Amino acid sequence: MSGPKTRSSATRFAKTATSRRSTTTSSGETVSPKIGKTGQRTEKLRTTVDLSPADHRRLRRIADRLADDLDLVEVPRRAVWLALLAEVDADEGLYEKVLGRIKADREET
């Protein structure tokens, strides 16, 4: 078993919060703390997307078509999402198309 913690979570949280709060100097000037660089995340993150049955079928059709074109048994849907993210990130024109579609979808609702 591990030994008792020397500092409680509440103490650590309070110290962290204090380091992030702005302070007021005697002359009334507000001074914000310098923002440091946080650690880089190295573990994968899980994202869940809720799809309608029609959208799920469309995703499956795209993955199946890619598998046929690549002469593979299957292309994982994750690979489709990752390829789409890379393309949107690299192609400004595609990004603008996606932006327009999202704007249009938001106006419909």
Provide the residue-wise pLDDT of the chain in tens; the chain has 109 residues: 555 555 567 777 777 776 667 777 778 777 776 766 666 778 888 899 999 999 999 999 999 999 999 999 999 999 999 999 999 999 999 999 999 999 999 998 7
pLDDT for the residue 13 = 76
Read off the amino acid at residue 105: D
pLDDT confidence of residue 5 = 56
pTM > 0.85: yes or no: no
Domain boundaries, given as residue ranges, for the chain: 53-108
